[in-house]
């Protein structure tokens, strides 16, 4: 389905207003006391909320500043609002409601995997106090990245700041770095989830084993980013941080919430969409919608190609029956690339299945035929329990890379990050078990 440039933004705001409505009146008359998160609402919806509370609309701007720039976690800390107003909002059930990091897994390589508690209310913990897997979202922090952005035009705008070893902000909880911690990274990539589980059923992916549990809201998607920003003291405009929407789930099967989060992050944190990459298994209507987005909000695009031809692709990615390679490529061609931007094709190397030099020649042909500025990111398959593929031999990986490069295709090998904590590509599933 195609849509006009305006439609998603308007629908989004309407949805948010409906949400406010559904949450009950804000004058306190018959307000329900179930928690009503402010986090995730765009500035217009926050302004409407303030107007509904009998306040001027510009108070909405103050709220947006507090939620998204200052990243304040509690209404009571929003001191730009009068104390009485804060008390009134809290009494009506409003809360900041930003998703929180509830568990941290640290890898020997510096990667961190987080369980982030989402915004669905009321059933977050079971009788034993354990957080339900469907309530948590997985997010990964990769200091120094994984080389996935190499050569795609990400790093043209913000220069590196050498020797920036300022002190981190301090606080006692998981959402803030330890007191006195030094900033030990020069750049970083955050891998963001868009759904809990995934319905696409790629045969090599551990997330697929969960099936689709639920879609994340725009606030839950953007909240992962801001919680990680807070933990690591990230300042947009100063730090080199990239986002990859490559965590759990298929972003284009949760398109409105995914793009809602992107717009929120661009508008309210100032992060450039050129620092964001969305990866899809090839959901053609989603690619077509992305092609219609205004450049000021459109993230870069990565396609999980993963196979040299339709036959192999359909075996490992059943979605290929619905949208074969040609249909995906036709949709990709509708995206108006920015100067120096490239489309990324991701290619998971499955030992003995997709890693032969002849496959590399076929992949090069496919990529050349698109006629687009493109690059290939190779990912050696990360193992997971119950999945009967094997990791490619290191020599096969190198041969594949060299063959593609020899065919004139810019090719990069993604470093596996955080395999020991199940944080690497396709490994996000183990949630609370660790
Ligand atoms: N659903 C989206 C984004 C999340 S998956 C998509 O499929 O594109 C992100 C990337 O991880 C995809 O390129 C996917 O092919 C790859 N991947 C999935 N499982 C993997 C595994 N076990 N090892 C290595 N890469 C994997
Ligand atoms: Fe879903 Fe992506 Fe995993 Fe396929 S690779 S099952 S689309 S998360």
Mean pLDDT by 10 residues, the chain (434 residues): 31 45 42 78 93 92 96 95 95 92 92 87 47 78 77 50 32 52 79 96 94 96 96 93 97 98 97 98 98 98 98 98 98 97 98 97 97 96 92 97 97 82 68 42
**Whether residue 208 has its Cβ less than 6 Å from ligand 2:** yes
**Whether residue 202 has its Cβ less than 6 Å from ligand 2:** yes
**Of 185, 153, 150, 147, the residue nearest 166 (C-alpha):** 185
Question: Which is it for strands 112-117 and 100-106: parallel, antiparallel or unpaired?
Answer: antiparallel
Q: What local confidence, expressed as pLDDT, does residue 20 receive? A: 46
Residue 244 in tokens: 């990859």
**Whether residue 343 has its Cβ less than 6 Å from ligand 2:** no
β-bridge partners, 300:
277
Q: Which atom of ligand 1 is nearest to the CA of 248?
A: 4
CA Rg value for the chain: 22
Nearest bound ligand to the CA of residue 348 = 1
Show the DSSP H helices in 67-106 as ranges.
83-91
Residue 182 in tokens: 């030094």
Q: What local confidence, expressed as pLDDT, does residue 419 receive? A: 74
DSSP three-state, residue 115: strand
Let me know how many helices (H) and strands (E) the chain has, helices first.
11, 14
Nearest bound ligand to the CA of residue 279 = 1
Residue 178 in tokens: 């330890």
Q: Whole-model pTM?
A: 0.86
Q: What local confidence, expressed as pLDDT, does residue 415 receive? A: 78
Nearest CA owner, ligand 1 atom 8:
280
**Whether residue 278 has its Cβ less than 6 Å from ligand 2:** no
User: What's the CA-to-centroid distance between 249 and ligand 2, angstroms?
Assistant: 6
Residue 95 in tokens: 């809360």
DSSP three-state, residue 264: helix
Nearest bound ligand to the CA of residue 319 = 2
List Cβ neighbours of 284 (8 Å cut-off, separation of 6 or more): 323, 327, 328, 331
Q: What local confidence, expressed as pLDDT, does residue 430 receive? A: 53
Is the CB of residue 343 less than 8 Å from the CB of residue 372? yes
d(CA 245, CA 236): 18
Place of tokens 């979605």: 319
Where does 152-297 show beta strands of DSSP type E?
A: 187-191, 195-197, 212-215, 240-245, 276-280
Is the CB of residue 52 less than 8 Å from the CB of residue 31? no
d(CA 54, CA 409): 60
d(CA 298, CA 300): 7
Q: Which one-letter DSSP state was computed for residue 66?
A: I
Cα separation values, 162 from 166, 185, 189, 330, 396, Å: 11, 10, 18, 42, 37
**Whether residue 198 has its Cβ less than 6 Å from ligand 2:** yes
Q: What local confidence, expressed as pLDDT, does residue 371 receive? A: 94
d(CA 89, CA 107): 41
d(CA 303, CA 120): 30
User: What's the CA-to-centroid distance between 246 and ligand 1, angstroms?
Assistant: 7
Query: What string of DSSP letters covers 369-412?
Result: HHTS-EEEEEEEPPP-TT----PPPHHHHHHHHHHHHHTT--EE
Q: What local confidence, expressed as pLDDT, does residue 67 receive? A: 97
Place of tokens 């987005």: 293
Question: Which positions are catalytic?
Answer: 138, 425
DSSP three-state, residue 263: helix
d(CA 407, CA 430): 39
Cα separation values, 24 from 18, 28, 145, 348, Å: 10, 9, 44, 48
User: What's the CA-to-centroid distance between 260 and ligand 2, angstroms?
Assistant: 21
User: What's the CA-to-centroid distance between 141 and ligand 1, angstroms?
Assistant: 16
Q: What local confidence, expressed as pLDDT, does residue 133 receive? A: 61
β-bridge partners, 377:
346, 412
User: What's the CA-to-centroid distance between 382 and ligand 1, angstroms?
Assistant: 10
């Amino acid at each position: 389905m195609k849509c006009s440039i305006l439609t998603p933004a308007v629908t989004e705001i309407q949805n948010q207003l409906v949400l406010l409505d559904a949450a009950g009146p804000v004058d306190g008359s018959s307000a329900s006391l179930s928690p009503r998160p402010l986090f995730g609402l765009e500035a217009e919806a926050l302004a409407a909320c303030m107007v509904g509370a009998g306040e001027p609309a510009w108070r909405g701007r103050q709220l947006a500043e507090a939620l998204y720039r200052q990243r304040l976690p509690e209404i009571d800390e929003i001191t730009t609002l009068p104390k009485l107003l804060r008390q009134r909002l809290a009494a009506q059930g409003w809360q900041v409601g930003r998703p929180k990091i509830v568990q941290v897994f640290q890898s020997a390589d510096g990667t961190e995997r987080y369980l982030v508690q989402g915004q669905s209310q009321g059933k977050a913990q079971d009788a034993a106090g354990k957080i339900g897997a469907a309530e948590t979202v997985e997010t990964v922090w990769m200091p120094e990245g994984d080389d996935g952005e190499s050569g795609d035009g990400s790093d043209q705008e913000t220069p590196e700041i050498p020797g920036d070893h300022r002190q981190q902000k301090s606080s006692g909880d998981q959402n803030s770095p330890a007191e006195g911690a030094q900033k030990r990274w020069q750049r970083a990539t955050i891998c963001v989830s868009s759904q809990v589980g995934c319905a696409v059923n790629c045969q090599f992916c551990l997330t697929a084993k969960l099936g689709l549990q639920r879609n994340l809201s725009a606030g839950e998607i953007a909240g992962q980013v801001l919680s990680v920003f807070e933990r690591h003291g990230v300042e947009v405009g100063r730090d080199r941080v990239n986002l990859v929407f490559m965590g759990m789930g298929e972003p284009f099967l949760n398109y409105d919430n995914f793009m809602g989060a992107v717009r929120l992050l661009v508008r309210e944190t100032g992060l450039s969409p050129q620092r964001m990459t969305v990866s899809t298994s090839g959901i053609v209507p989603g690619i077509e919608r992305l092609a219609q987005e205004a450049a000021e909000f459109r993230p870069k695009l990565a396609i999980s190609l993963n196979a040299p031809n339709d036959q192999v692709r359909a075996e490992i990615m059943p979605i290929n029956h619905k949208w074969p390679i040609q249909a995906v490529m036709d949709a990709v061609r509708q995206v108006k690339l920015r100067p120096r931007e490239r489309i990324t094709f991701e290619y998971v190397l499955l030992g003995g299945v997709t890693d032969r030099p002849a496959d590399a020649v076929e992949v090069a042909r496919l990529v050349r035929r698109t006629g687009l500025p493109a690059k290939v990111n190779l990912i050696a398959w990360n193992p997971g329990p119950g999945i009967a593929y094997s990791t490619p031999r290191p020599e096969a990986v190198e041969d594949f890379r060299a063959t593609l490069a020899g065919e004139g295709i810019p090719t990069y090998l993604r470093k596996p990050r955080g395999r020991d904590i199940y944080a690497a590509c396709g490994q996000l599933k183990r949630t609370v078990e660790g």
